[in-house]
Chains A and B, each alone.
Chain A
Amino acid sequence: MPQVPMQKLNIIAPREYEEDILKFLQEKALMQVMDLEEETRKILAKIPEEEKHDFDFLLAEVQFAIDFLEQHKIKEKQSFLKRLLAPAQALTPGQFSKIIKTFYFKNIVEKCKILEEKINVLLARKTKLQEEHKLLWQWRKLDIPLDQIKETEKINMVGGSMPIKNFEEFRKKLAQVKLAHFKKIYLVENNVNLLIIYDKREIEKVKKILDKYEWQEVILPPRKGTPLQELKRIKDFLAEIRRELKVQKKKAQGLSAYIPKLKVIYDYLLWGRAHQQVQERIGNTAQTFVLSGWIKEKDYNELKERLRKVTKGNVEIFKIKPKKGETIPVVIENRPALKPFETVTTIYGLPLPQEIDPTPYMAPFFILFFGLCLSDAGYGIVVAALAWLIMTILRVPRENRGLFKVLIYGGIITFIVGALLGGWFGVVLEELPSGFTWLSSTLIQIRQLDPLKDPIKILILSLALGIVQVLVGIAINMFWKMKQKRYLEAILDSGLWLYFIIAIMFWAMAKMGVLPSSLQQLGLYAVLTGAGALVLTQGRKQKNILLKFGSGVMSLYNLVGYLSDVLSYSRLLALGLATAVIAMVVNLVAFLFKDMIPVVGWAVMVLVMIGGHLFNMTISGLGAFIHSARLQFVEFFPKFMEGGGERFEPFRREHKYITIARSK
Chain B
Amino acid sequence: MELGLVYAILGAALSALFAGIGSAVGVSLAGQSGSGVISEEPAKFGRVLLLQALPGTQGIYGFLGAFWVIMKIGLLAEPMAVSTSAGLQILFACLPVALAGLLSGIYQGKVSAAGMGVVAKVPAETGKAIILSAMVETYAVLGLLATILLVNGIQVG
Contact = CB atoms under 8 A, between A and B. Distances in A.
A619 B141 contact: no
A588 B76 contact: yes
A571 B141 contact: yes
A627 B141 CA distance: 10
A575 B64 contact: no
A598 B68 CA distance: 30
Interface in B113-140: 127-128, 130-131, 134-135, 137-138
Contact of B131 (A459, A570, A574, A626): A626
B148 A630 contact: no
Given A568-B138, A626-B130, A581 B50 contact: no
In this complex, the interface size class of chain B, counting residues with CB under 8 Å from chain A, is: 20 to 34
A30 to B, nearest CB: 23
Contacts of A585: 63, 67
A571 B142 CA distance: 7
Interface string B38-78: 00000000000010011011001101100110000000100
Contacts of A634: 135
A630 B134 contact: yes
A582 B64 CA distance: 7
Interface string A620-638: 0011001101100110000
B149 interface: yes
Contacts of B68: 581
A633 B131 contact: yes
A577 B131 contact: no
B156 interface: no
Contacts of A455: 148-149, 152
B145 A571 contact: yes
B152 A578 contact: no
Contacts of A630: 131, 134-135, 138
B144 interface: yes
A81 interface: no
In this complex, the interface size class of chain A, counting residues with CB under 8 Å from chain B, is: 20 to 34
Contact of A574 (B54, B76, B141): B141
A456 B127 CA distance: 32
A347 B128 contact: yes
Contacts of A571: 138, 141-142, 145
Nearest to B134: A626
B142 A570 contact: yes
A590 to B, nearest CB: 14
A619 B127 contact: no
Nearest to A616: B60
A244 B148 CA distance: 68
A186 to B, nearest CB: 38
A578 B138 contact: no
A470 interface: no
A574 B145 contact: yes
A573 interface: yes
A286 B63 CA distance: 76
Contact of B50 (A568, A574, A622, A627): A622
A581 B135 contact: no
B127 A347 contact: yes
Contacts of B152: 455-456
B149 A578 contact: no
Interface in A453-474: 455-456, 459
Given A574-B148, A581-B68, A623 B57 contact: yes
Nearest to B56: A619
Interface in A581-605: 581-582, 585, 588
A29 to B, nearest CB: 18
A60 to B, nearest CB: 15
Contacts of A347: 127-128, 131
B51 to A, nearest CB: 11
A578 B135 contact: no
A581 B64 contact: yes
B111 to A, nearest CB: 13
A634 to B, nearest CB: 7
Tell me which of A456, A588, A626 has the highest count of chain B C-beta atoms within 10 A of its own C-beta: A626
A629 B54 CA distance: 15
User: Considering the complex of A and B, which 3 residue pairs feature the smallest CB-CB distances, nearest first?
Assistant: A347-B127, A574-B145, A571-B141
Given A570-B142, A623-B57, A630-B131, 10 more contacts: A347-B127, A459-B145, A570-B145, A571-B141, A574-B145, A578-B64, A578-B144, A626-B134, A629-B127, A629-B131
Interface of B: 50, 53-54, 56-57, 60-61, 63-64, 67-68, 76, 127-128, 130-131, 134-135, 137-138, 141-142, 144-145, 148-149, 152
9 contacts: A456-B149, A459-B145, A574-B141, A577-B148, A582-B63, A588-B76, A619-B56, A630-B135, A630-B138
